[in-house]
Structure 1
Amino acid sequence: MDSRIPRFYDKSLGKRRQIVADRCSISEDAYEALIDTDERDLGAVERLSENVIGAISFPLSVATNFRIDGDDRLIPMAIEESSVVAAASYGAKLARETGGFTTSTSGPYMIGQIQVRNLSDPHGATSRVFERAGEIRAKANDQGVLVSHGGGCEDVTARVVDTPNGEMAVVHLVVNVQNAMGANAVNTMAEAVAPMIEDVTGGETILSVLSNLADCRIARARCTIPPDVLRSEKRALSGEAVRDRIVDAWALAVGDPYRAATHNKGIFNGMDALAVATMNDWRAIEAGGHAFAARDDYGPLSTYEIDTEGNLVCSIEVPVQVGVVGGATRNHPVANASMEILDANSAEQLSGIFAAVGLAENIASMRALAAEGIQAGHMKLHAKNVAIEAGAPEELIDEIAAQMVADDDVRAARARELISELNR
């Protein structure tokens, strides 16, 4: 098979699909799967991506029970794992007992970086950048339309970085991107000021690009949960016992990066699903979040404490780089519908919602881990998938799944046994 296909991107979608099918010798079923896509989806994805041959759909679900800053909201989530949606809804239900989530944000600021090498006096060069920061800022603000929308470059900073190849300078543009995610605007600004930075520093610029460590764009969410709603009947644990186990489970994440990675993955389960549903950049959110978690030693993005009244206080602080304008958010009809469901009016409001969703997801996971264990709820939801994979007829899927859960035996082999029994 030859993967060299000149001007593949210029060919029609149907022609691209046929070329791939022929060169990869895919089965008829696989080819039918590629063409069995709603034409509305194909039109949208071909505008969004390159070399399109089809579309793959995630289930679009809605998480319930959310009350955020006093407003009830339904949360669209695009993800293939049902337990993620169930967990977000359950976490929101626990938080709802005392009014839900409150949020705050540090503002819609993104950072553009300009790297400067070959400097005879790196520290002197950064001083000269500060001296001429006003000129650099003005040059940046000559680019694009951010200023006319109330945004633009608001600060210019510089520092010396000790690298394996010697000391270099890095100049930061701190840009108010308003309601956009801001990558394109910031990249344009960084590239535009690079020649001026070379003139100011006497060095050579290389990278001129946005940073996804968006530590000037922090979203915070908080809620309080009374212990009585945390109790576990299955494990005969009081609410106070579950509460204390949650705090100790969080403490392990503080001290152990192996646990912290999984702790934070649970947070991003919810945030990523919301990002995909709204066509925001989940990869940027993940990169920024993990980098933020690793500022010192890698640790958890959320915190669990006990207040003076014995309630569990849950909070999160995480960079959230999302927008309500630009990008794919308004160019894909389903993402547009998701935004209408959310009814978020600004990027800052949307950032707060993201933080609340991540915290809700984490709360549900922590409560499950501290009480019944993570597999009890997960396998209950996973049982349908196992039944389907085992070849259960449509009319028997629910019955087989329910029986496997009741037997505490969720396996493909058990599903096949039940199929045989029920088909006699």
Structure 2
Amino acid sequence: MTKPIQGFSKLTKEEKIDWIVSNYTQDAETAKNILMRYWNTDVDLQKLHDEFIENTISNYYLPLGIAPNFLINTELYAIPMAIEESSVVAAASKAAKFWLDRGGFKTTILGTEKIGQVHFMFSGNFNKLNTFFKYVEPKLRSEAAVITRNMEKRGGGISKIELRDKTAELANYYQLHCTFETLDAMGANFINSCLEEFAKTFKKEALCFAEFTEEEKDIEIVMSILSNYVPNCLVRAEVSCPVEELTDDPTDSKEFAKKMIQAIAIAKVEPHRAVTHNKGIMNGIDAVILATGNDFRAVEAGVHAYAAKDGKYTSLTNACITDGIFSFWIEIPLALGTVGGLTSLHPLVNLALEILQKPSAQELMQIVAVAGLAQNFAAVRSLVTTGIQEGHMKMHLLNILNQLGATEEEKLTLTNHFKKNSATHAAVVEAFENLRSQ
């Protein structure tokens, strides 16, 4: 049995590798070679990557692809996407090309408000607490001024601080519910610093508040932290065209539009379908968020909470036909940044933002929402026409052939073969074995 290690973080990278491969792999030399193959030969670049996180032993690569031809509010974009899943970039590109000749994507920012909370326990009289809050609220702002000064110069800062009574859900539980504008920064560090300053001032001033009893003065601060649920940091993306333009055949167009609307309606009422439906949306969204150095975990959590905001998990996209016009749209919360964090450190993030024409945070929100909408349109379109597997498996073909150890010549032969044949996993294996046997 491997023994616990003390001081692992103090080891050099090479020492960390030696320990992990010696204790947790079957072939230490092979494992070490794999880890070191992914080191960057540029020493300075590798050092930069090593310092992003703790206990680094190597780099973990994801493919960076481009989905071109996105017409968004009359501007043409090529969207960088970092993702490992086959067919995602192809599907987004196909949807972009489809809507390019139908007016493109339209987007609107509906709000940019971000949220943070100071959670605390108070067992005294609420009316006195409310009086104290009205007294202390200006001081919360003034004592955080050293943190907010630069943000305020740029037009952001603290929007509102509210006292919320949550005792109906949990005994003695209250919160300072705070909203912020952070402009082109995602703002996590800014918000958390403000909240911790609020908490310090709130507790300090309570000790001096004459109307409190000694027990009431002892307010217990539990924690101060931003929320990744940002229902008022919202963007809308949409596409529309006459129904008859959806396919080459007007009769087929009506049937296609009908099935698209039925598919969305099913995702609206059936949570099992809605989860997979929304996962497809996040294929597009997460890929752009990763490519631009943003926090896809935070966005995922907030988006799925938004999908359940009315008490039932449901589709993030909508579709309808009005006066012969087919419309397809999404409204989604996205707290993103284009300055700070990895945006100024990671060379590929910098390049991805340059490819996107150096967008503001609001512009990036719109681009990301479009990527999600395009991905969903492509997926649902496949589901209600040819089925999802035909396109996906053809894109996945090279992964299967690489797993089988196919040569470049064999890959070319089998790729041509499956342009005309169904590419199930079993069919690919059989075709490969037949080719090898010849």
1:392 matched residue in structure 2 = 406
2:211 matched residue in structure 1 = none
Counterparts of 2:200 and 2:74, CA distance in 1: 48
Change (3 A) 1:252 1:127: farther
Where do 1:160-199 residues align within 5 Å?
Answer: 160-162=165-167, 165-198=170-203, 199=205
Where do 1:220-235 residues align within 5 Å?
Answer: 220-231=236-247
Where do 1:216-295 residues align within 5 Å?
Answer: 216-231=232-247, 238-295=252-309
Contact 2:116–2:225 under 8 Å retained in 1: yes
Counterparts of 2:168 and 2:342, CA distance in 1: 36
- Tell whether 2:51 aligns with 1:52: no
User: How well do the aligned residues superpose, as a CA RMSD in angstroms?
Assistant: 2.3
Counterparts of 1:410 and 1:161, CA distance in 2: 54
Secondary structure of 1:398's match? helix
Contact 1:368–1:374 under 8 Å retained in 2: yes
* Deviation of the 1:355 alpha carbon: 0.7
Residue 214 of structure 1 aligns with an amino acid whose one-letter code is: V
Contact 1:160–1:168 under 8 Å retained in 2: yes
Counterparts of 2:20 and 2:13, CA distance in 1: 11
Where do 1:328-407 residues align within 5 Å?
Answer: 328-404=342-418, 406-407=420-421
Change (3 A) 1:121 1:395: farther
Counterparts of 2:428 and 2:395, CA distance in 1: 16
Residue 61 of structure 2 aligns with an amino acid whose one-letter code is: S
Counterparts of 1:229 and 1:397, CA distance in 2: 38
Counterparts of 1:413 and 1:239, CA distance in 2: 33
Change (3 A) 1:381 1:228: farther
* Deviation of the 1:289 alpha carbon: 0.4
111-120 vs 23-32, greater mean Cα deviation: 23-32
* Deviation of the 1:157 alpha carbon: 1.6
Change (3 A) 1:128 1:359: farther
391-400 vs 38-47, greater mean Cα deviation: 38-47
- Tell whether 2:36 aligns with 1:35: yes
Matched length: 421
Counterparts of 1:180 and 1:102, CA distance in 2: 24
Which of 119, 122, 144 in structure 2 is aligned with 1:118? 122
Where do 1:405-416 residues align within 5 Å?
Answer: 406-411=420-425, 414-415=428-429
Which of 152, 157, 166 in structure 2 is aligned with 1:152? 157
112-121 vs 279-288, greater mean Cα deviation: 112-121
Counterparts of 1:107 and 1:131, CA distance in 2: 30
- Tell whether 2:25 aligns with 1:25: yes
78-87 vs 402-411, greater mean Cα deviation: 402-411
Counterparts of 2:33 and 2:196, CA distance in 1: 45
392-401 vs 141-150, greater mean Cα deviation: 141-150
Contact 1:391–1:416 under 8 Å retained in 2: no
Contact 1:215–1:292 under 8 Å retained in 2: yes
Contact 1:108–1:347 under 8 Å retained in 2: no
Change (3 A) 1:237 1:45: farther
Residue 215 of structure 1 aligns with an amino acid whose one-letter code is: P
TM-score of the aligned structures, taking structure 2 as reference length: 0.89
Which of 324, 327, 334 in structure 2 is aligned with 1:313? 327
Secondary structure of 1:339's match? helix
172-181 vs 102-111, greater mean Cα deviation: 102-111
Contact 1:277–1:335 under 8 Å retained in 2: yes
TM-score of the aligned structures, taking structure 1 as reference length: 0.92
Secondary structure of 2:327's match? strand
Identity %: 33
| Structure 1 residue runs without a partner (length 5+) | none
Counterparts of 1:298 and 1:127, CA distance in 2: 39
Counterparts of 2:16 and 2:222, CA distance in 1: 36
Contact 1:386–1:410 under 8 Å retained in 2: no
Structure number with greater Rg is: 2
1:12 matched residue in structure 2 = 12
Contact 1:114–1:208 under 8 Å retained in 2: yes
Change (3 A) 1:239 1:208: same
